[in-house]
Amino acid sequence: MTNFKKFDNIITERKVLKMTREEFIDKWIDRYMDEHPDEKIEDFDALREQADCEWYDNEVDHDRKTEYDLTAEQAKVAQDAMKGMARAVNAYGKEVKRVRKENPDKRLLVQAMADCFGADGSPCEAVEIVNPERQVDFVLNGVHYSATITAHRPPKTK
């Protein structure tokens, strides 16, 4: 297959003269034939396709409209669809909520903290377990506190 190269001078002319697509392609092919007179062109369609690719590259590089651009409605729909892309969905489009494996040790620790804060004679008031594996809320001297417990990952072994 022929090794194609970009013809920057045609692209520069395109910027200045505002050629149509067909004019650009014709001029690109003419320039290619002039620069490669010894080469026998077997697949003229491939040469035309390469020129067409150069045309679209130039149009996209300069933010000009092409026939493949989205309409205003399509752009709005695409933008709305991208807003919630971080959610996990299954094959049917239903949202999937991750189910975490229970950690009985953390539950035991959070319950022990709640029992300690809420024990008789403790200055804490309104002791509440917000998340059974993570957080206990309580009030001490009129100030609301939250105690959160975190289990760190075990270190990696080599």
Helix axis angle, 8-17 to 21-35, nearest 10°? 150
* H or E segment to which residue 101 belongs: none
Q: Which amino acid is at 27?
A: K
What is the pLDDT averaged over residues 57-80? 81
CB atoms within 10 A of CB 149: 16
Question: Which pLDDT score is estimated for 11?
Answer: 57
6 compared with 46, residue with greater pLDDT: 46
153 compared with 96, residue with greater pLDDT: 153
Cβ atoms of 135 and 110 within 8 Å: the answer is yes
| Phi, psi of 89, rounded to the nearest 5 degrees | -130, 155
pLDDT, tens only, 71-105: 889 888 888 877 766 667 777 777 777 788 888 99
Task: Tell me the domain boundaries of the chain.
Answer: 8-61, 104-148
Q: Which three-class secondary structure state does DSSP give residue 136?
A: strand
Predicted TM-score of the model (pTM): 0.40
Q: Among all chains, which residue has been given the structure tokens 């959610």?
A: 87
